[in-house]
Structure 1
Amino acid sequence: MVAPLQSVSDNHTGLYSNEKFDYDAEAQTVRCPAEQVTRKKYYTPQLEGTQYHFPKEICKACPVRLQCTASEQGRKIFISNYYNEFQEAKTFNETEQAKKLFQIRNGIERKNNELKNHHGLGYARTHTRERRRVYVKIVSMVVNLKQFVKQKNPLTLGFVRKRPPGFLLSFLKIQQA
């Protein structure tokens, strides 16, 4: 599966993001931009990760404190259990292969958007799984037929909601020729 990663570099507070901190998995430490290191941590099973805490004494004496944290208790950094996978995905997403896959994904997402928002697959109209499957298959056939008509008919440039004046006459002339 190829998916864009949520940007963690955008910090809504305007302070340093977690990307500015260096995590050392082997030593189980985090280094801040001011070169301070912390080992103080606690695991949070609900969030599936570890929260690293820089003590308030270190943060109060730090020269870049105003750009880093507004907390009186010191800065906290969350490291997910999936940190390594996230870093690998981030590295892969910058490759040419990933950019090509994102272009393919864009076309698929557009079709999914059409199915969901323009053809009623965004909400269930039936209550049983089998009826839902039948409904999805019918909608898929309609969308495929619509795509076929778009490719065969040079007059339609995208999905036409209203026919222009004289559309039927020009369509019939093309069909007779």
Structure 2
Amino acid sequence: MIGPLQESTSWQAQAGEGYGLYDFEVDWPHQRIRCPQGHLSQRWAPFFDRHGTEKIEVRFPPKMCQACVAREHCTTGAKGRILKLLLQEAYQALEKRREEQHTPAFKEKYALRAGVEGTISQVVRQTRMRRAPLSWRAENASASCTDCGWDQCAADRYLSSCARSRKLFSP
């Protein structure tokens, strides 16, 4: 599947001027993180989140964060900055994908997907499939969309545009 990843939902990333998760440098072999100001994390502990996903919680010393000159861009908590990471393989895969989604090649592939989604949306609106009763959809779905599908809708659009152009340019 091709699509952009969700941007960070932290207030730091939303503000556009704070330090988001990807502004920190992760040192996987030594199990520590360096913040943008150069400070090292103090605690690295695995845990399971509420969905059962294994993650890593990283904490920075509260006193260090409270004395930091960039504190307002990083944390408002009295406990210091706390980061929650996915495991290394997943974290690095997401990081790679985030970098990849800003390349021209990715944008070109995504444009194709957007075109397909637009076509599907148009077919659903033209055939009024979303407003049709569930029983009608089950009986007629293949006849209205799948079997003759988008070709029929595309042909209808083409013929309609030809008819309009003849009206506009006929003597």
TM-aligned CA distance change 1:72 to 1:138, over 3 Å: same
Q: Distance in 2 between matches of 1:40 and 1:123?
A: 56
Q: Which residue is equivalent to 1:44? A: 47
1:59 pairs with 2:65? yes
User: How far 1:108 moved relative to its partner?
Assistant: 1.2
After superposition, the CA RMSD in angstroms is 3.3
Question: Which blocks of at least 5 consecutive residues in structure 2 are unaligned?
Answer: none
- For residue 70 of structure 1, what is the amino acid of its counterpart? T
TM-aligned CA distance change 1:5 to 1:145, over 3 Å: same
Q: Distance in 2 between matches of 1:122 and 1:16?
A: 46
Moved more, 38-47 or 62-71: 38-47
- For residue 78 of structure 1, what is the amino acid of its counterpart? K
TM-score by length of 2: 0.73
- For residue 78 of structure 2, what is the amino acid of its counterpart? E
Moved more, 10-19 or 97-106: 10-19
1:12 pairs with 2:21? no
Q: Which residue is equivalent to 1:109? A: 117
Question: Which blocks of at least 5 consecutive residues in structure 1 are unaligned?
Answer: 158-166
Q: Which residue is equivalent to 2:99? A: 91
TM-aligned CA distance change 1:94 to 1:124, over 3 Å: farther
Identity %: 18
Q: Which residue is equivalent to 1:100? A: 108
User: How far 1:137 moved relative to its partner?
Assistant: 5.1
Q: Distance in 1 between matches of 2:73 and 2:124?
A: 43
Q: Distance in 2 between matches of 1:124 and 1:21?
A: 52
| Larger helix share, 1 or 2 | 2
TM-score by length of 1: 0.71
